[in-house]
Chain A
């Protein structure tokens, strides 16, 4: 009997070790300052102090502390701090509410890899004027409850949330962000983030799902018309929720503007884990010329496979997260059909493009995370990190690294140049002035994937493309309103 239990214990131990090997590195939060303070810091410190001061600060100090002496003869900058910035230790603490192991864990893992590599480089180069940036991750597993819980846990430890995965999740903390005066960068492309009523404490970026879909279906419409198709028709199918419905609303707005009939409307009908083949059969029955699907790659496969197994051919496209290189992998049974039918879109420059941004990214990823595959979501990580970098820089230059100071600094940024990785962003002006409308249009490239020249299995056919329908769209409110 003892032997049995020993065996069992060994198996359990080995299992736990195996599971732990694949775990995510979690950065533990550092000590935080409890009360607001204004202290001085050298403007051009090359490295943080090695021994952090351990002085207790008053809990309810309305008078700013001014007990720090200049480190040297350099000109000092007076920096106000409250939470998440420890000038003594030379650390800025940033919260990251990320889905690391949930349904978007694979995608977010790549984003996070980009974020980490970018900040590793910044920190190695001296950080934000000598202050090292520490990222404190919490794995939300794409649960709104976890998201809210971890927000509450971190809000008194961090100066800003550098990442917030998911629209409903970000909505769930939006009012708290406003009440607490904290800034967050959402990892979601919901059109509602351009609504001034929703984005007071958010730094959204990239082209929203709605305008992405509007652009793509308009582009495909033009392709078919150029091929002599008189009145192309469209079918749409999507996940429920902001991602799916914001996107299909955009597709339908585009179709309406072009006078294109929607012959099958499966908005919100795709459910991960259920049998989605009937939706594919219904799309095949509709005989649509253009099919717009907003899902993930697994669900897209079910719909697409069911439709083409009925002999159905059309131009297919979908929101960026619908694509996976696995669709055109050498062993994929549908790689030829996908290469024939599919048009992809993405909100930023794919990594296979050659521009200063992608070269910079490839260099940093090779240096800090060579094991991470260069899939395009790494670019999103760099974009998020560059936005935060700019906000922290401006806040420092304003002399205010408090939570409110970082928020105010971020909202005053007129231009962030991503070196070609993405269209430049501005956080000044109304939504119609600053709304991103550009997408990169791609086609599947199984040969490039097999040859290893395109890890994402795509080639770019249009760069920073905006269709006239999308350019003329006047933004008044979110395409799909979150309830």
Chain B
């Protein structure tokens, strides 16, 4: 009540650090961006497809999770288990369904496009996005679908900053998934995917089933998009999945470009950087002088700045063409 206001900028001092709060909020947002960016990059890396339907995958995946956890109440209707355990089973079930969705979409829409130019394939993914969003928007309706996560609005007070339990869970899950993806790329299938990404024809000549690699890439991409969609739809960000959850991916695009379109590490670093930059701008540059919604363009400014110095992104592979 002692804070002083100056056109939307707070100059007061409170018990918890505003800077720390903004950084935590930014890291939380950044992990969502990183998860979405990783999925996008894995699909691009393995199949050379720029997937404009990634936002739809996130929304549909989160919607499936809400459906399994709340509408079907699975496994709660059969088993009386600890809420965290029950919800984990719901999420795992939803992730399996999301992976299947990714495989089916790839098989129906993308496989027939193998060999076509990248622009045509990108347009097909735009069409997929329209179809999926039309259907899921119709089902979601005006009100959000709850995720029914076990943490609710619980928070942990660390003294200088307060963190929601969902955010702690989000950090743990994101780190685990990054490690899993890193381990995957060292596995036999992961090496096959890297070989496919490097040269599809050469990979095929070595006996790698390129079609199966494409399907696996889409399955992993859909799973990562779903996890991003889930954490973008829980407290403190939302109280459930809305149809505009897909917009999260468009906000993650600067992270993808900034990190490097074909770099998983770049997706993680890019996601975290963009999330923190957006949150800090929202906290400290929310001034009429900058205009309304300035924080929304900060990720793009950051992206353009990086591209001036490194045109392929921080970790992107430099492409050399013979002319």
A interface with B by C-beta (< 8 Å): 4-5, 7-8, 11-12, 15, 18-19, 21-22, 105-107, 109, 231, 233, 240, 261-269, 271-282, 284-289, 297-298, 301-302, 305-306, 308-311, 324-327, 329, 331-334, 336-337
Q: Is the CB of B238 within 8 A of A302?
A: yes
Taken together as a complex, chains A and B put the C-alpha atoms of A310 and B159 apart, in Å, by 11
Q: Is the CB of A19 within 8 A of B138?
A: yes
Taken together as a complex, chains A and B put the C-alpha atoms of A231 and B1 apart, in Å, by 9
Q: Is the CB of A278 within 8 A of B286?
A: yes
Taken together as a complex, chains A and B put the C-alpha atoms of A309 and B18 apart, in Å, by 13
Q: Is the CB of B240 within 8 A of A326?
A: yes
Given contacts A272-B244, A275-B251, contact A286 B5 (CB under 8 A): yes
Residue from the list A5, A278, A325 in contact with B22, Cβ < 8 A: A278
Given contacts A265-B8, A287-B1, contact A279 B286 (CB under 8 A): yes
Taken together as a complex, chains A and B put the C-alpha atoms of A297 and B163 apart, in Å, by 23
Q: Is the CB of B162 within 8 A of A285?
A: no
Cβ of B242 within 8 Å of any chain A Cβ, yes or no, is yes
Cβ of B283 within 8 Å of any chain A Cβ, yes or no, is yes
Query: Which residues, 242 to 270 on B, are CB-close (under 8 Å) to A?
Result: 242, 244, 247, 251
Residue from the list A8, A18, A324 in contact with B143, Cβ < 8 A: A324
Given contacts A265-B8, A310-B21, contact A240 B162 (CB under 8 A): no
Q: Is the CB of A285 within 8 A of B5?
A: no
Q: Is the CB of A274 within 8 A of B134?
A: no
B147, closest chain A residue (CB): A331
Taken together as a complex, chains A and B put the C-alpha atoms of A288 and B5 apart, in Å, by 11
B297, closest chain A residue (CB): A274
Q: Is the CB of B236 within 8 A of A277?
A: yes
Query: Which residues, 146 to 187 on B, are CB-close (under 8 Å) to A?
Result: 146-149, 151-153, 155, 157, 162-164
Taken together as a complex, chains A and B put the C-alpha atoms of A218 and B239 apart, in Å, by 29
Q: Is the CB of B131 within 8 A of A333?
A: no
Q: Is the CB of A264 within 8 A of B10?
A: yes
Q: Is the CB of A277 within 8 A of B282?
A: yes
Cβ of B295 within 8 Å of any chain A Cβ, yes or no, is yes
Sample 20 A-B pairs with CB under 8 A, ordered by A number: A21-B138, A105-B142, A106-B141, A263-B3, A263-B4, A269-B292, A274-B251, A275-B29, A278-B281, A278-B283, A281-B18, A281-B25, A285-B12, A287-B2, A298-B144, A302-B236, A302-B237, A309-B155, A327-B239, A331-B148
B interface with A by C-beta (< 8 Å): 1-5, 7-8, 10, 12, 14, 16, 18, 21-22, 25, 29, 70, 108-109, 111-112, 131, 134-135, 138, 141-144, 146-149, 151-153, 155, 157, 162-164, 234-240, 242, 244, 247, 251, 278-279, 281-283, 286, 292-293, 295-296
Q: Which residues of B contact A325 (CB under 8 A)?
A: 143
- 19 new A-B contacts at CB < 8 Å, known A5-B112, A309-B164: A4-B112, A8-B109, A12-B131, A22-B138, A264-B8, A265-B5, A265-B7, A269-B286, A273-B244, A273-B251, A285-B12, A285-B14, A301-B237, A305-B238, A310-B16, A324-B143, A326-B240, A331-B148, A334-B239
Q: Is the CB of B131 within 8 A of A15?
A: yes
Given contacts A4-B112, A277-B237, contact A333 B244 (CB under 8 A): no
Given contacts A274-B295, A278-B286, contact A326 B144 (CB under 8 A): yes
Taken together as a complex, chains A and B put the C-alpha atoms of A263 and B278 apart, in Å, by 23
Q: Is the CB of B142 within 8 A of A287?
A: no
B70, closest chain A residue (CB): A331
Q: How far is the CB of A71 from chain B (nearest CB, A)?
A: 47
In the A-B complex, the 9 residue pairs with the smallest Cβ-Cβ separation, listed nearest first, are A106-B142, A278-B282, A305-B236, A331-B146, A22-B138, A309-B236, A333-B152, A271-B293, A333-B235
Q: Which residues of B contact A262 (CB under 8 A)?
A: 5
Taken together as a complex, chains A and B put the C-alpha atoms of A334 and B10 apart, in Å, by 26
Q: Pick the most buried of A233, A264, A333: most chain B CB atoms within 10 A of its CB.
A: A333
Q: How far is the CB of A174 from chain B (nearest CB, A)?
A: 24
Q: Pick the most buried of A5, A274, A280: most chain B CB atoms within 10 A of its CB.
A: A274
Q: Is the CB of B162 within 8 A of A311?
A: yes
Taken together as a complex, chains A and B put the C-alpha atoms of A280 and B10 apart, in Å, by 12
Q: Is the CB of A301 within 8 A of B239?
A: yes
A239, closest chain B residue (CB): B292
Q: Is the CB of B138 within 8 A of A8?
A: no
Q: Which residues of B contact A331 (CB under 8 A)?
A: 70, 146-148, 240
Q: Which residues of A contact B238 (CB under 8 A)?
A: 298, 301-302, 305
Given contacts A263-B5, A269-B286, A337-B153, contact A305 B144 (CB under 8 A): no
Q: Is the CB of B1 within 8 A of A271?
A: no
Q: Is the CB of A311 within 8 A of B286?
A: no
Residue from the list B12, B236, B251, B293 in contact with A287, Cβ < 8 A: B12
Given contacts A233-B1, A308-B153, contact A106 B10 (CB under 8 A): no
Q: Is the CB of B108 within 8 A of A11?
A: yes
Taken together as a complex, chains A and B put the C-alpha atoms of A105 and B137 apart, in Å, by 11
Q: Is the CB of B142 within 8 A of A285?
A: no
Taken together as a complex, chains A and B put the C-alpha atoms of A240 and B294 apart, in Å, by 13
Q: Is the CB of A271 within 8 A of B296?
A: yes
A7, closest chain B residue (CB): B108
Taken together as a complex, chains A and B put the C-alpha atoms of A289 and B2 apart, in Å, by 11
Q: Is the CB of B286 within 8 A of A266?
A: yes
Q: Which residues of B contact A22 (CB under 8 A)?
A: 138
Residue from the list A272, A287, A334 in contact with B235, Cβ < 8 A: A334
Q: Is the CB of B162 within 8 A of A281?
A: no
Q: Is the CB of B296 within 8 A of A332?
A: no
Q: Which residues of A contact B12 (CB under 8 A)?
A: 263, 285-287
Residue from the list A5, A275, A297, A310 in contact with B295, Cβ < 8 A: A275
Q: How far is the CB of B221 from chain A (nearest CB, A)?
A: 20
Given contacts A287-B2, A298-B244, A326-B240, contact A333 B151 (CB under 8 A): yes
Taken together as a complex, chains A and B put the C-alpha atoms of A309 and B164 apart, in Å, by 6
B140, closest chain A residue (CB): A106
Q: Which residues of A contact B282 (CB under 8 A)?
A: 275-279
Given contacts A106-B143, A298-B242, contact A285 B236 (CB under 8 A): no
B32, closest chain A residue (CB): A275
Q: Which residues of A contact B164 (CB under 8 A)?
A: 309
Q: Pick the most buried of A310, A311, A326: most chain B CB atoms within 10 A of its CB.
A: A310
Taken together as a complex, chains A and B put the C-alpha atoms of A289 and B236 apart, in Å, by 21
A330, closest chain B residue (CB): B146
Q: How far is the CB of B34 from chain A (nearest CB, A)?
A: 15
Taken together as a complex, chains A and B put the C-alpha atoms of A338 and B157 apart, in Å, by 21
Residue from the list A266, A276, A287 in contact with B3, Cβ < 8 A: A287
Q: Is the CB of A18 within 8 A of B244?
A: no
Q: Which residues of A contact B4 (CB under 8 A)?
A: 263
Q: Is the CB of B162 within 8 A of A309?
A: yes
Q: Which residues of B contact A333 (CB under 8 A)?
A: 149, 151-153, 234-235, 239
Q: Is the CB of B21 within 8 A of A281?
A: yes
Q: How far is the CB of A228 from chain B (nearest CB, A)?
A: 14
Q: How far is the CB of B31 from chain A (nearest CB, A)?
A: 13
B21, closest chain A residue (CB): A281
Taken together as a complex, chains A and B put the C-alpha atoms of A266 and B296 apart, in Å, by 15
Q: Is the CB of B153 within 8 A of A311?
A: no
Taken together as a complex, chains A and B put the C-alpha atoms of A106 and B238 apart, in Å, by 18
Q: How far is the CB of A56 from chain B (nearest CB, A)?
A: 43
Q: How far is the CB of B50 from chain A (nearest CB, A)?
A: 21
Q: Is the CB of A275 within 8 A of B279?
A: yes
Q: Is the CB of B239 within 8 A of A326?
A: yes
B286, closest chain A residue (CB): A269
Q: Which residues of A contact B240 (CB under 8 A)?
A: 326, 331-332
